[in-house]
Amino acid sequence: MKKAVAKAALDYIEPGTVVGVGTGSTANHFIDFLATMKGKIEGTVASSVASAERLKKHGIQVYDLNAVGELSVYVDGADESSHHLHLIKGGGGALTREKIVAAASKTFVCIADESKLVDVLGKFPLPVEVIPMARSYVGRELVKLGGRPELRDGFVTDNGNVILDVHNLQILNPVELEQKLNNIVGVVTNGLFARRPADVLLLGTPAGVKTLK
Ligand code: 5RP
């Protein structure tokens, strides 16, 4: 199902443009499919070092985001999606760069298997990227909000920070919570993609790829 949605995302690629590329196993399938049409695109911007390396292995040009203008499309997976296409992302720890590339893109195409579609976000622990010296302080603030933060052991992000995975959140107002969490000093960003949700969700089901908008 992950492969099927990754392939379906090729339909959203505009020839001659720079494509934003996400991170994770579904995004990896997308990278492999993108390689089949690498001659038709200008290049890519990657949301992680891992994705940049996979793209380069395929001989696909990877640009620094600062070297290009607005991206036509960003294709990435998710850990959870609501029916409003609000997402939880960051299971792979790349949430900050993912959020930056999503923000810089005209269209965000999310690719996921149907297990990721939920009625209420929050069963998947919400990743929060934190400046290392603020880890304990941010943890206490997250507890005040009703969460149970857990340090992702031994993990350092591409930006040199740590991740707190926050359990026990029932996220009824993702737009508000996203902003609230980003206002905690020491938080770099959090894995809620609600203020800039996906524009299209390609959902893999046993019956084929469903498109939600
Ligand atoms: C990485 C992400 C991924 O998109 C998310 O974890 C989904 O991964 P997968 O495609 O492997 O299920 O946000 O930071």
pLDDT of residue 184: 98
Atom of ligand 1 nearest to the CA of 24: 11
Tell me if 99 sits within 8 A of 196, measured CB to CB. yes
Chain segment 99-132, per-residue pLDDT in tens: 999 999 999 999 999 999 999 999 999 999 999 9
CB of 200 closer than 8 Å to CB of 213: yes
Q: How far apart are CA 148 and CA 170, in angstroms?
A: 12
> Which atom of ligand 1 has the smallest separation from the CA of 77?
4
pLDDT confidence bin for 39, thresholds 50/70/90: very high
When pLDDT is cut at 50, 70 and 90, the band that residue 81 belongs to is very high
Tell me, yes or no, if 98 is annotated catalytic: yes
Query: Any residues with CB less than 8 A from the CB of 96 and at least 6 apart, and which?
Result: 129, 157, 159, 161, 188, 189
- Cβ–Cβ under 8 Å, residues 202 and 111: yes
What integer pLDDT is reported at residue 155 of this predicted model?
Answer: 98
Q: Select from 30, 76, 79, 118 the residue to mutate for testing ligand 1; criterion: most ligand atoms less than 8 Å from CB.
A: 79
Q: Say if CB 186 and CB 131 are below 8 A apart.
A: yes
At 170 the pLDDT is 82
Q: Give the mean model confidence (pLDDT) for residues 40-54.
A: 98
Per-residue pLDDT tens for 134-186? 999 999 999 999 999 999 999 999 999 999 999 999 899 999 999 999 999 99
Does residue 111's CB lie within 6 angstroms of at least one atom of ligand 1? no
The residue among 76, 89, 47, 72 whose CA lies nearest residue 174 is 89
Cα Rg of the chain, angstroms: 17
Strands (E), 57-168: 71-76, 80-81, 87-88, 105-113, 126-130, 148-151, 162-167
pTM of the model: 0.96
CA–CA distance, 128 with 93 (Å, rounded to integer): 9
